[in-house]
Amino acid sequence: QVQLVESGGGSVQAGGSLRLSCAASGSTLSRACVAWFRQAPGNEREGVASIYTGYSRTSYADSVKGRFTISQDNAKNTVYLQMNSLKPEDTAMYFCATDVATVVPCPLKAPWYVTWGQGTQVTVSS
């Protein structure tokens, strides 16, 4: 069974950049849906970006389009989230999740995903 580990979070000033990594072990991420979600205290978990690893079909939430980029490295069995032009409202715990790809583009709905990582904190100060 696949296990996910996120890394790369931290504290940055507004306008800065971070790259999050979602490393998989136990199984390959090939031909799967992988998505990034975020959750701030008191808020629901929000889908940020998804990728179908079969041919890198991506999907983004409107709030991050043009600023965030999701990508994959098949050799490293890892999915990345490059976050540029960060804003204070991007502050949250970021999670990656994966499941079998039964629909493409991959959904940005949390209940759709079965396997989750433990999360990595991103804090953006103004």
- Are 34 and 112 in contact, with CB atoms under 8 Å apart? no
The per-residue pLDDT string of the chain (126 residues; one tens digit each, 9 = 90 and over) reads 899 999 999 999 999 999 999 999 999 998 999 999 999 999 999 999 999 999 999 999 999 999 999 999 999 999 999 999 999 999 999 999 999 888 999 999 999 999 999 999 999 999
CA distance 67 to 16: 11
- Are 3 and 25 in contact, with CB atoms under 8 Å apart? yes
Closest to 86 measured CA to CA, from 48, 56, 51, 59? 48
- Are 22 and 118 in contact, with CB atoms under 8 Å apart? no
